[in-house]
Amino acid sequence: MGALLSSYFRHIRGERESFPWRLLAPLGWLVEASSRARNFSYDHGLSASREMPIPVVSVGNITHGGTNKTPFVEMLARVFVDAGLRPGIVMRGYGRKQKGCLLAGECEPSRDLLGDEALLLSGRLGGVPIAVSADRAGGVLRLAGEGVDIAIADDGFQHRKMGRDVNVVLIDATCPFGNGRLMPAGMLRENPGSLERAHMVVITKADQVAKGRVEEISAAIRGITGEKPFLSSLALAGWSRFLDPREGLEECPPPALPAAAFSAIGNPHSFGSFLEQLGFPVVFHEIFRDHHIFTESELAAIGGKMTSLGARSLICTEKDIFNLPPDWSPAVPVYVPRVHAVLADGDSFFAALALHLRPRVVVASNGHGEDAIGSLLAERLQSRFPLFEVSGFPLVGRGQEYRSRSVRVLSPPSETPSGGVVKYSLRDLIRDIRSGLFRHIEAQAEAWSGLRGRLRTVLCVGDVYLFLHSLWGQGAMPVLLATAKSERLHGHWGLEKWLLKRRCRRVFTRDPETARELSERKADAVFKGNPIMDLAGEAVGKPGGHRPFGVLLLPGSRERAYDDLGLLLGAAEVIALEEDCRFEMVVASTLERERLLEKAPSWRVDSPDVIRHEKGKPEVRLFSGEVSRAASRSDILIGLGGTANQICAGMGLPVVSIDEKGKRVQKKLLGEAESLVTADPVSLAREALAILGDPARHERMSRAGMERMGGGGALEAVIEYAYRTLGWEKRQEVCRVFGAYVEKNSGRTGSELEEHGDDRSW
């Protein structure tokens, strides 16, 4: 290595400040600004990152230079094989001349085709598929097509287009951060703060520095990640002698002393230190740039220097063998130390790795009806994927629907006067803003940021606002179960269609017309059933026309339900004067029953679930279960809800509601199934009685509702999509197999494994 280049490397490693190289500082600042902008773009979904169809463990670093990635990748591959899994490796193939994705076993073992590191690993890991591709995501897809169970991405930390399940970052103990600047002013590839993205950090070459220095580096890393890093080092497995390019390496005794060395690796100084630890101090060490292709004249010069200094043998790394001239035969013995990575606490490392390979799934929703759908989806996911950790992220309320199904809620509470995200009233929106709407949004964004990089694909139940909320919050492309927008109304805006095309994995629509429209705009959109009707379950509507009629009352789930209660009970009073009916009211989980009944002073509580008018009749049964169950025993609905009204219409109940902006929008969806009248008890009662008294009209409205809403099936389609396309089937199997392997080999229980995991976000 020339004096100028040597001076530069000492500068970027922080060993000696040199004036000419200080002038590179502004370039380092520009690179850092670019790196921060790029990470911001991926953190917030401006750049696309998507989940791979098989689990991915990325092994990377934040510096230019050797951090022992190759032996660490080899160690992981061997452990996965030992666990009964079929791993594959994807790597860039630095220095190769061939473009595209190649499998090491399907082409000539040439450096020009594969690169030196791929050749090294393919020789040491027979049977492990190795994909060489600058596009790591494309390489993982190729491995998935080869039947691989889990992919190890070599040098994948900065390749953020490729989703990953675990980020392992290696830090070189002998030169952890260089001079603290980014290339070309330093050796950093990105700021050390980026270690926040890492699930696990490993300090390599920990045996080559003093214990106090290791503790100092550990403290610095822990200050960023909040977790103690693991330690690793290299161990000697044996010696090999290089014969010639055709015969390759053969095992042999250690080399004779005195010895010399040459290398072209990322951190040649640590190679020299490693040889000294083995008891082989070299008389000289000729250093070349990483991945350097040697010439015969360079090797002849090294041989001449050996002769002049009396060296009897020559030592290089195994990677250097693949960069020797194709027809070169050594005039002196050339030896290679075969090394492997060793962890200081392997049990803890693999326990943590098993925990991070356990998939974490979030179902997000924005509205009471959407929460009902989302919580049902989460419950079914828990049943289908018992090893997964499934959580809910409702944007509105406190997540009662999720909690009622024993689903953990990750989002902070968000309660506003309107009870949701306002679409139809500027006045209500202003009230929500004054009550702290923006603070709620900020708190939710903060909650998302804590989950960033630690989730599988987020499943959104709601509208494009929720989709964008999730995308901006955690960065990865979500799946959208679209319950709001429909071509039967005004459809999605042009900008919404563009966003869904570019940043949504798949849209499951509520009707076939919307799926066709989005597909024509090149979005991945399908119709597999109306998600709202999945809430109906197996319930079947009661045939109409038989007395006593069942009248279902729905005050809704938002704050205004307390004020609207009198409207519904007043309608029940009027109906009871003319027709003997059974009245039942569904009280949403978001409502407080005692507060609700305070709004009905002329009604008394007969029993915990029955209220009666002070004049003796009617009586109204209160029900806090699923709307579909109450609808199955009713003949008509007087409803002020949103999703609940649609469920009832889809089950064949004629719907009577009030004439206001939101309900007029809903009527475009329900058509003849819904009748809108003036917002007063008498008008509601008269319309309900008219429908009940006209069997033909009742039948038309019933049939229209079922035709308009269609059947369910969307939730099972989403689960099947995740199972097959998103690779959750494979993740469940890998989690089961590797978790059992770790427990068997470490003697730890499942709860003990969790003690070693990263609990910052969970």
Residue 223 lies in a domain: no
Query: Helix, strand or coil for residue 318?
Result: helix
Q: What's the whole-number average pLDDT of the chain? A: 91
Residue 490 lies in a domain: yes
CA 539 to CA 108: how far, in whole Å?
Answer: 63
CA 387 to CA 66: how far, in whole Å?
Answer: 37
Are both 154 and 301 inside the same structural domain?
no
Query: Helix, strand or coil for residue 334?
Result: strand
What is the pLDDT at residue 760?
28
What is the pLDDT at residue 524?
97
Are both 360 and 500 inside the same structural domain?
yes
What does each C-alpha distance from 556 to 4, 59, 370, 705 come to in angstroms?
76, 51, 13, 19
Beta strands in 483-633 (DSSP E): 506-508, 525-526, 549-554, 581-586, 603-607, 610-613, 619-623
Residue 38 pLDDT greater than 50, yes or no: yes
What is the pLDDT at residue 751?
40
Are both 619 and 650 inside the same structural domain?
yes
Are both 607 and 630 inside the same structural domain?
yes
184 secondary structure, DSSP code: T
Structural domain that includes position 91? 3-193
Strands 636-639 and 230-244: unpaired
CA 716 to CA 528: how far, in whole Å?
Answer: 9
Q: pLDDT tier at 543 (50, 70, 90 boundaries)?
A: low
Nearest to 286 by CA among 277, 278, 295: 295
| Mean of pLDDT values over 340-360 | 96
CA 476 to CA 459: how far, in whole Å?
Answer: 11
Domain boundary among 314, 338, 362: 338
Give the phi and the psi of residue 270 in degrees, each rounded to 5.
Answer: -70, -30
Are both 182 and 271 inside the same structural domain?
no
190: left (phi over 0), alpha (psi -120 to 50) or beta: beta
Residue 204 lies in a domain: no
As to burial, measured by CB atoms within 10 angstroms (0-12 exposed, 13-18 middle, 19+ buried), residue 252 is middle
CATH number at 629 reads: 3.40.50.2000
What is the pLDDT at residue 758?
38
CA 61 to CA 476: how far, in whole Å?
Answer: 22
What is the pLDDT at residue 2?
67
Residue 100 lies in a domain: yes
What is the pLDDT at residue 366?
92
Are both 517 and 550 inside the same structural domain?
no
Query: pLDDT of 71-107, one tens digit each?
Result: 999 999 999 999 999 999 999 888 777 788 999 888 7
Residue 163 pLDDT greater than 60, yes or no: yes
Nearest to 76 by CA among 218, 200, 239: 200
Query: Helix, strand or coil for residue 162?
Result: strand
Strands 230-244 and 248-252: antiparallel
Q: Which residues contact 353 (CB under 8 A, 6 or more apart)?
A: 57, 166, 168, 200, 738, 742
pTM of the model: 0.89
**Residue bearing tokens 């690993």:** 121
Q: Percent of the chain at pLDDT above 70?
A: 96
* 749-762 burial code (b ≥16 CB/10 A, e <16): eeeebbebbbeeee
In one-letter notation, the amino acid at residue 438 is F
Residue 759 pLDDT greater than 70, yes or no: no
Query: pLDDT of 377-413, one tens digit each?
Result: 999 999 999 999 999 999 998 999 999 999 999 999 8
Domain tally, the chain: 4
Residue 762 pLDDT greater than 60, yes or no: no
Are both 426 and 564 inside the same structural domain?
no
Are both 434 and 474 inside the same structural domain?
yes
Check if the beta carbon of residue 702 is closer than 8 Å to that of residue 521. Answer: no
Residue 739 pLDDT greater than 80, yes or no: yes
| Mean of pLDDT values over 354-375 | 95
Check if the beta carbon of residue 350 is closer than 8 Å to that of residue 742. Answer: yes
CA 262 to CA 42: how far, in whole Å?
Answer: 40
| Mean of pLDDT values over 177-183 | 94
Query: pLDDT of 270-322, one tens digit each?
Result: 899 999 999 999 999 999 988 899 999 999 999 999 999 999 999 999 999 99
Query: pLDDT of 130-143, one tens digit each?
Result: 999 999 999 999 99
Asked which of 165-169, 433-437, 498-502 is least confident by mean pLDDT, the reply is 433-437
Nearest to 626 by CA among 363, 369, 364: 369
Would you tell me how many other CB atoms lie within 10 Å of the CB of residue 29? 13
What is the pLDDT at residue 754?
41
Residue 207 lies in a domain: no
What is the pLDDT at residue 494?
94
| Mean of pLDDT values over 53-61 | 97
Q: pLDDT tier at 424 (50, 70, 90 boundaries)?
A: low
Are both 186 and 276 inside the same structural domain?
no
Q: Please name every residue paired with 38 in a beta bridge, in sequence order, or none if there are none.
A: none
CATH number at 267 reads: 3.40.50
